Amino acid sequence: MKIPHDYVQNSITTEEVVASLRKNFGDGVVVDVREHRAGKDQALSFSQLWLAIDRDKFLDLVETLFTFDFLHFHIISGNDDGDVITLNYHFTLFRSAGRGKRLGVTVSVSVPKNDLT
């Protein structure tokens, strides 16, 4: 398989990504890490990083994610959560790095219904 030049083949660990995000955003980013295991030996298949951030920091977060690898965008999903709409942006980092190294990233941003700008 030919790897696009924008993709890295050597990923950093999920812990390193989280540490960098904490360094850049402090308590402004909420982090939850989930591991997905599969197969007879229950080897790590991939990890999923769930992030929540204020909407005024969203673009800064996306730019930071791009410093790790080309950020592959999948889809936006949403929830009607009362007074806010929660937008969930689904991305992947390290797609070409191989099994156990791919990192799914979901970034949640709450937008008040009375200010949808």
Q: Which strand (E) or helix (H) includes residue 84?
A: strand 84-93
**Pair of tokens at residue 93:** 């980092």
Does the pLDDT at position 55 exceed 70? yes
Give the pTM. Answer: 0.83
The verdict on residue 1 lying in a domain is no
- 85-114: b (≥16 Cβ within 10 Å) or e: eebbbebbbbbbbeebbbbbbbbbbebeee
The per-residue pLDDT of the chain, averaged, comes to: 87
The verdict on residue 4 lying in a domain is no
The verdict on residue 9 lying in a domain is no
| Host domain of residue 23 | 14-112
The verdict on residue 91 lying in a domain is yes
The verdict on residue 76 lying in a domain is yes
Rg (CA), the chain: 15
Q: How many domains does the chain have?
A: 1
3-class state of residue 45 by DSSP:
strand
Domain of residue 69, CATH code: 3.30.460
The verdict on residue 18 lying in a domain is yes
The verdict on residue 28 lying in a domain is yes
Instruction: Give the pLDDT of residue 1.
Output: 42
Q: What separation, in Å, do the N-terminal and C-terminal C-alpha atoms of the chain show?
A: 42
Mean pLDDT of the 51-71 span: 93
How far is it, in rounded angstroms, from Cα 68 to Cα 5? 14
Confidence band, pLDDT 50/70/90 cuts, at residue 39: confident
The owner of tokens 């982090």 is 31
**Residue 43 CB partners (closer than 8 Å, separation 6+):** 37, 99, 100
